[in-house]
């Protein structure tokens, strides 16, 4: 999806791929863009029902690279307030876990804590 968006909007897209895509690299890129229209992430994701804030998006190709693992907990403490729309093309990133207090936890909650206004993400497995 990222390569397709790059073909459509080549001069307006900031594309990060492969091993260069780490949590710190993504944070630097986000803070360097003045007024982004959206953030699209196409990566492997896991939702952990029992521990939803440990759910992860694997930004780099290699899951063993700790620098490429973006957990819901890390997302919640990020500053994404300048990004009006986040689209996630990652398996099950639209799922959430409802606690006993009827609070909803997962990627959506984390992204809203980070300041994002709108989110589009799947409830099922995706092929990107």
Query: What's the token pair of residue 108?
Result: 């959506």
Residues in the chain: 128
Does the reported pTM lie above 0.85? Answer: no
Task: Of 13, 57, 59, give the one whose Cα is nearest residue 36.
Answer: 13
Return the DSSP state at 9: S
Query: What's the token pair of residue 11?
Result: 């001069």
Along the chain (128 residues), what's the average pLDDT of each consecutive run of 10 residues?
Answer: 67 72 85 85 83 85 67 93 88 63 72 92 67
Kind plus residue range of the DSSP H or E element containing 28: helix 23-32
Give residue 14's pLDDT: 75
Return the DSSP state at 15: -
Q: Is 59 exposed, middle or buried (0-12, 13-18, 19+ CB in 10 A)?
A: buried
Query: What's the token pair of residue 59?
Result: 């930004």
Give residue 128's pLDDT: 54
């Amino acid at each position: 999806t990222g390569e397709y968006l790059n073909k459509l909007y080549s001069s307006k897209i900031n594309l990060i791929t492969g091993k260069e895509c780490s949590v710190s690299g993504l944070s630097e890129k986000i803070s360097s863009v003045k007024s982004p229209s959206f953030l699209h992430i196409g990566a492997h994701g896991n939702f952990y029902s029992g521990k939803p804030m440990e759910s992860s998006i694997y930004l780099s190709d290699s899951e063993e690279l700790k620098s490429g693992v973006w957990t819901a907990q890390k997302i919640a403490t990020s500053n994404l307030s300048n990004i009006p729309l986040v689209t996630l093309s990652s398996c099950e990133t639209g799922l959430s876990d409802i606690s006993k207090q009827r609070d909803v936890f997962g990627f959506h909650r984390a992204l809203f804590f980070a300041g994002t206004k709108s989110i589009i993400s799947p409830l099922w497995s995706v092929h990107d």
